Amino acid sequence: MTAAPSLSARTGRSAYRSVDPATGELVAEVPTATDAEVEDALTAAETGFRAWRARPIRERAAVAARVGELFAERADELAAIATQEMGKPLSEAREEAQFCAEIFAYFAEHGPDLAADQPLPTPHGTGRAVLQRRPVGVLLGIMPWNYPYYQVARFAAPNLVLGNTVLLKHAESCPRSALALQRLLDDAGVPAGVYRTLFATHAQIEDVIADPRVQGVSLTGSERAGAAVGALAGRHLKKAVLELGGSDPYVVLDTDDVVASARAALATRLGNTGQACNSNKRMIVSADIFEEFVAELTRAAAALVPGDPSVEAPDTYAPMASRAAAEALAAQLREAVEAGATLHTGGTLAEGPGAYLAPAVLTGVTPETAAHHQELFGPVAVVYRADDDDAALALANDTPYGLGGAVFSTDPERARRLAEQLECGMANVNAAEAEGAGMPFGGVKRSGYGRELGPLGMDEFVNKRLLYIND
C-alpha cells in the first residue's frame, strides 16, 4: 500500500494520523486546526445554537431520525473505515454503525417526550409550576478511538435533539472516521455550526473548555484524561460528563456447562479485541469449577490465530488499535508474571509493525500485583478463584473502578443478591451487559460520573428550569 501524501508536510503543522494497525502503514493524515479555525468553529457553534434551539423539538428530532437512517444506509462504508483505521473486526464495525442508527432513532422518537414540560405541585396549591428542560448551548465532546462512531452517537444524539450544538474532538488516530461522521450529519440536514469536527491540539482544547461560549464538556477516555478534563471543567465552572476506565467483574457462581460458560466469557472479553471500557476484565469463578473454567479458556484462546480484520473468518483475532497499545499491554503482562502471576497462554506480540497480541489467560494475580489494580485494555482474561459468594463479592468490589459488573448463576435470585451489592453503575444478572439505546450507561468511583443513553442521557446537559406562574 502506498501511503497517502502528508498534508502536515505541506502545512508544517502536526496531524491526525490514520494508521492501519494490521500492517502499520500510514493511510491518511489530516492537519491540526489553526487557532483561526478553532475560533471560527466556536463562533459558528454559538450562532448555530441560537437558530437551532428556536426550531421546534420535533423538527430537530426529524433531523436526528434522518441521521439514524444514514447510519443504517452507510453501515458497510463506515465499517470499512473503522476496520482499517483502528483494527475493529468488520462484523463488529458494521454492528457499531447499526447501533448508532438505533441510538439516533431512539432519541428522535422519545426525545420530545423525555424533554417535555413536567407539571409540579405548588406551595399551598396556588399558581402553576412547570419543570422545563431547555438546552444550555455549545458543548464539547472529546471522544476515543475504540468506538469511533458509537461514542459520538451516544453523546451527540440526545444533545442535538435537545437543541444544544456540538463541537467534536475525535481521537488523533481516527481522522477518517471523524470526517465520515461529519459528512453523514451534514448530508442528514444538520445545519452548519450545529455539529462541527475539531482537529484540535490538546492546548487548543484547553482553550475551548475555558471559552465562555462553551457550556459543558463530555469525555470518554482514560482515567488520566478524565482527571485533566474534569479539573479544567471545574476551574471554569463547566458541567462535565466523564466515562473513564473500567475493570468490570464477571462473576460465575455456578453453571450447568463449564465449557460453554468459559467460551461465552472469552467471547465477551475479546469483543473489540478487548478494548472496551465495560469489558469483563476480571473473571471471578467459584472454586469448584475454577480449574475446568481456566483450562477451557486456555484451550479456546490458544486456538485463535491472527486474522485480517477486514475478512470475516472464524477462530481468528484482530490487531489492537496500535502497535504502541499492544506493546504497553505486553509489558503489563510481563510485569504481572514477574510478580508471581501465571500466564497460561498468549501475550506474545507478532513480529513486524502490526499490532497483533495473542489473547492471554492470566491467573494468580494478587492484590499486591500491579495488574490487580490496573485496567488491562486488550485481549487478556484475568481469572480469580472465589471460595464462596462473600469472597466473590469482596474480589468484585476490590477495584478503584466502578463501571459495570455481571453475575451468573443457575439460581437467578442468588445472582441478584450478589449483583445488588456490586459497587458499579451497571449491574447485570445472567447477562454480560444490557446493551440498548434506552439503557443508561455510566459508572461510579474512578470510572467517572454522569450518564449517557436512555432517559438519563437527555438530562445531563440541560437547563432544568422552574417556571412558576402566580395566578
> Would you call 401 exposed, middle or buried from its count of C-beta atoms within 10 A (0-12, 13-18, 19+)?
buried
User: What would the pLDDT profile of 234-248 be if each residue is shown by its tens digit?
Assistant: 999 999 999 999 999
Q: Residue 243 catalytic?
A: yes
pLDDT of res. 124 = 83
Backbone angles phi, psi at 163, to 5 degrees: 115, 5
Query: Per-residue pLDDT averaged across 427-444, rounded?
Result: 97
Cell of 304: 485463535
Q: How does pLDDT run across 343-386, given as a tens digit for each residue?
A: 999 999 999 999 999 999 999 999 999 999 999 999 999 999 99
Residue 155 above 60 pLDDT? Answer: yes
pLDDT band at 13 (very low <50, low <70, confident <90, very high): low
Distance CA 392, CA 426 (A): 17
Report the predicted TM-score, pTM, of the whole model to 2 decimal places: 0.95
Residue 125 is predicted with a pLDDT of 83
Per annotation, catalytic residue among 92, 96, 172, 277: 277
What 3-state DSSP class applies to 451?
coil
**CA distances, 309 to each of 85, 173, 322 (Å):** 11, 17, 14
Q: How far are the Cα atoms of 326, 341, 346 from residue 299, in angstroms, in the given order? A: 22, 19, 11
For 113-132, the pLDDT digits (tens) are 999 999 999 988 899 999 99
- How does residue 6 score in pLDDT terms, banded at 50, 70 and 90? very low
User: Hey, do 15-244+448-469 and 249-429 end up sharing a CATH topology, with the first three levels equal?
Assistant: no
Give yes or no for residue 85 having a pLDDT over 80: yes
- Give me 471's grid cell: 395566578
- Alpha helices by DSSP H, listed for 215-286, are 223-235, 258-269
Q: Which of 403, 408, 406 is nearest to 441 (CA)?
A: 403
Distance CA(14)–CA(201), nearest Å, equals: 9
User: Residue 204 is which amino acid?
Assistant: Q
Closest CA to 87 of 317, 379, 313, 349: 317
Instruction: Report the pLDDT value the prediction gives residue 11, as an integer from 0 to 100.
Output: 37
> Considering 29, 96, 243, 460, which one is annotated as catalytic?
243
* 115's grid cell: 424533554
Strand partners, 373: none
Domain 15-244+448-469 indexed as CATH 3.30.1360.200: no
By C-alpha distance, which of 469, 457, 470, 467 is closest to 107? Answer: 457
Task: Kindly report the average pLDDT of the chain as a whole number.
Answer: 95
Which has the closest alpha carbon to 18: 241, 229, 183, 171?
171
CA end-to-end span of the chain? 73
**pLDDT tens-digit profile of 306-353?**
999 999 999 999 999 999 999 999 999 999 999 999 999 999 999 999
Domain ranges in the chain are 15-244+448-469, 249-429
| Location of C-alpha cell 459468594 | 389
Count other Cβ atoms within 10 Å, centred on residue 469: 9
CATH architecture of 249-429: 3-Layer(aba) Sandwich (3.40)
